[in-house]
A and B are shown apart, each in its own frame.
Chain A
Amino acid sequence: MNLTDTIQHLFTRRVLFISGKGGVGKTTVSALLGIAAAKNGKRALIVEMNSTDRMAPVFGAPQIGHKEVQLQENLWAINLSPQKCFEEYALRLIRFSAIYKAFFENEYVTNFLRAAPGLKEFLMLRKIDMLEKEQRYKSFSVSRYPKYDLIIVDAPATGHGLSALEVPGVLAAVTRVGPLYVNARSIMDLLADHEKTIFCLVTLAEEMPVAESQEYVNDIRKRTDLSFGPMFVNSVMPRPERMKVDFPDTLPAEMEPFRGYHNLSRERFYLNKEYVREIEQRFPDFIKFIIPFQFHGLSKKEHIASLIPVLEE
């Protein structure tokens, strides 16, 4: 593999948040980066944040829950459960299981926690913070190494994503002291550490995803000091072999779809081209990786792995 400098540099970081509008292909990009990093010798962990588990079907793995599962050499995945995050967090704080039980088996307490705004996001971010700090020993060695070299977070869709990232700041502001404050500060430090944490945007070359990406970048830059990495422009239609076909004005009904799909290929090509240019203008300081549209879909590992050349020189 001959990865570009940008990607190699990206793989020296600790945590990558892959964010973007819903449906733009965050899961695809997370999986692609995971596969590439693993192939490159990094121990990589893909983190899904309480989503419908999309990673398992891609890798043909059994369902992924709140426990790290190895997908292939050097590649693991976990799908965070806010409930489990909470239990872990509470057990750390409450060490006595009797109190713990009194607390968590109380219906009112659990109802409260389920409804408390922002709590889920906080707990999942805290878990990511913990995963980043986890360590392991290499065999025959006393030195410790990070358990994972690279943590790739398949983040919630923007709109929600931005609020989730703000939760630690809000919590720190309202608590001001205590363990909750300390945890919130620790997450904020990790998110704002430009050496460790990078935010990668995924977008489509279409109007609304581009507009939303712009809003997201503006919002984040206005309110926080997070570091953006390369941008992934997904599903870009390659140039059709022929742009112009002389169809007669009227076609038999059963032949119409052939014209329809020719138009689709051509119009999508033009549309994507226009918005790739727009992306260049709107995000001049981002390095972009263009992922071509895949006619066979991207539901399997092999399909995603076939995109690795996109990351290469």
Chain B
Amino acid sequence: MSNTRIFLVCGSGGVGKTTLSAAMGLKFALKGYKTIVLTIDPARRLAGSLGIEGLTDTPTLIDLPEAKDGEMWAMMLDTKRTFDRLVEKYSPTPEIKERIFNNMVYKHMSQMLAGTQEYMAMERLYEIHQSRDYEIIVLDTPPMQNALDFLTAPQRMTGLINNSFMQLLLKPAVFFGKSGYKFLERGARQIFKLFDKIAGFQFLEDLSDMFISFKELLGGFQARAQDVKTLMADPSCSFISVCTTNENSISEALMFRNQLERDRYQLEKIIVNRVYKGEQYSEAEFEAFKKGFNEMMTGEEADYVIENYRKYMPLIEKDTGIINELKRLMGEYNVTAVPLFLSDVHDIRGLQKVSDELIHL
């Protein structure tokens, strides 16, 4: 199954990435593909989206009676477990593995999810891709302030471990204890003293111990980062940018596209979610509609129907402007506007309605 396609769904928090990822997964499954949706959100939203609780780190088959040949699988990413597995896999000896697992800094690192989530998402994506079990992989990425952070995650990970300055700085703490200072050249010595002063010797020792242990894993990490990068640049892998209509969405979408172009990644589509769709009418047109409705219902009902629509006009006008501008900048077919739905989506039927809107995909 060498022609696996990967869709990376990116966007800031609250725009509906998780729901759209699930809707995409559903669409592909119903088209007959064996599909998996990976979600990394600690708030367990996909589980909510699919109306099933307790998605785990292992792929779970979603019950879809309508899917004939296709299948839809879903999986929740467990950052800590992925990290542990990675350490296990790349540790050259059991001693090094134990040293990392017992390290104070490592133990707490996974708690700081904000920093390690992206790294682990890429890692798990790669594992799933390697398994060659699926035709379509949809990855719901962690919410980001900056959608671009995601692209550099693997390099940042190895960069952090391979930071030669930190290696130099931290080594003496382990090999020589405090007396290690004097073996350092003057500049490094001052900086080391400073670190000691700010953070305390014990912390430095733990930190450097972890860095040095990790260095043993570096070869594996680096090779993996390179593989992930190659995979992301492959034509089979493309990005979906999700946003809503707000003041920043146009500039953010442009920035994202430019960054992707620069790194030669493919942007598949921009999905604008929760759009107030509709026409803008003049007073004369409203009058004509009112006449029409008057023939179908009571005068009061007709008045209300017109007034209710009129209330939404500022929102329709704003959203139409933003969609048109995006289409002008990005090209008609690269922008999909998903209308605001009647109720919030939390089951397969709701997802089906959303997925019907995802045309040209």
Contacts and interface: CB of A to CB of B under 8 A. Distances in A.
Interface in A89-130: 93-94, 99, 102-103, 106, 108-109, 111-112, 114-118, 120-121
Given A52-B145, A159-B13, A159-B41, A180 B308 contact: no
Contact of B166 (A112, A259, A260): A112
B343 A102 contact: no
Contacts of A102: 187, 190-191
A177 B252 contact: no
Interface residues of A, number: 78
A271 B344 contact: yes
Given A174-B104, A174-B206, A257-B279, A159 B42 contact: yes
A312 interface: no
A181 B300 CA distance: 68
A164 interface: yes
Contact of B114 (A121, A207, A252): A121
A252 B295 CA distance: 13
Contacts of B311: 295
Given A22-B143, A175-B202, A261-B309, A117 B109 contact: yes
A24 B202 CA distance: 42
Contacts of A175: 199-200, 202-203
> Which of B143, B157, B164, B315 neighbours the largest number of chain A CB atoms within 10 Å of its CB?
B143
Contacts of A265: 308
A111 B159 contact: yes
Given A23-B14, A240-B308, A176 B159 contact: no
Interface in A279-313: 295-297, 299
Nearest to A20: B14
B54 interface: no
B262 interface: no
B92 interface: no
A163 B297 contact: no
B292 interface: yes
Contacts of B343: 267-268, 271
A208 B143 contact: no
B143 A159 contact: yes
Interface in B39-60: 41-45, 48-49
A264 to B, nearest CB: 6
Contacts of A262: 304-305, 308-309
A267 B340 CA distance: 12
A112 B111 contact: no
B317 to A, nearest CB: 10
B160 A112 contact: yes
Interface stretch (A35-43, A65-73, A145-153, A243-251): A243-251
B314 interface: yes
A62 interface: no
A93 B343 CA distance: 53
Nearest to A259: B305
A156 B13 CA distance: 9
Interface string A48-64: 00111010010000000
Contact of A208 (B15, B203, B297, B344): B344
Contacts of A57: 247
Interface stretch (A9-17, A135-143, A165-173, A186-194): A165-173
Place the interface of chain B in its size category.
Answer: 35 or more
B150 to A, nearest CB: 14
A63 B104 CA distance: 41
Contact of B305 (A215, A245, A248, A267): A245
A62 B267 CA distance: 32
Nearest to A180: B199
Contact of B202 (A111, A177, A206, A251): A177
A116 B45 contact: no
A90 to B, nearest CB: 9
Interface in B126-169: 143, 145, 156-157, 159-160, 163-166
A278 to B, nearest CB: 12
A22 B15 contact: yes
Contacts of B277: 257
A23 B244 contact: yes
B231 interface: no
B296 interface: yes
A156 B114 CA distance: 11
B194 interface: yes
B202 A157 contact: no
Contact of B191 (A103, A117, A163, A177): A103
10 contacts: A93-B194, A159-B13, A163-B111, A178-B197, A211-B48, A248-B296, A267-B343, A295-B312, A297-B314, A299-B247
Interface of A: 21-24, 50-52, 54, 57, 93-94, 99, 102-103, 106, 108-109, 111-112, 114-118, 120-121, 156-160, 163-164, 166-167, 170, 173-181, 206-208, 211-212, 215, 240-242, 245-248, 251-252, 254-255, 257-265, 267-268, 271, 295-297, 299
Given A262-B305, A299-B247, 18 more contacts: A99-B191, A102-B191, A112-B165, A115-B115, A115-B159, A116-B160, A118-B112, A159-B13, A163-B114, A180-B198, A208-B48, A242-B300, A245-B297, A255-B292, A255-B293, A258-B305, A264-B312, A267-B342
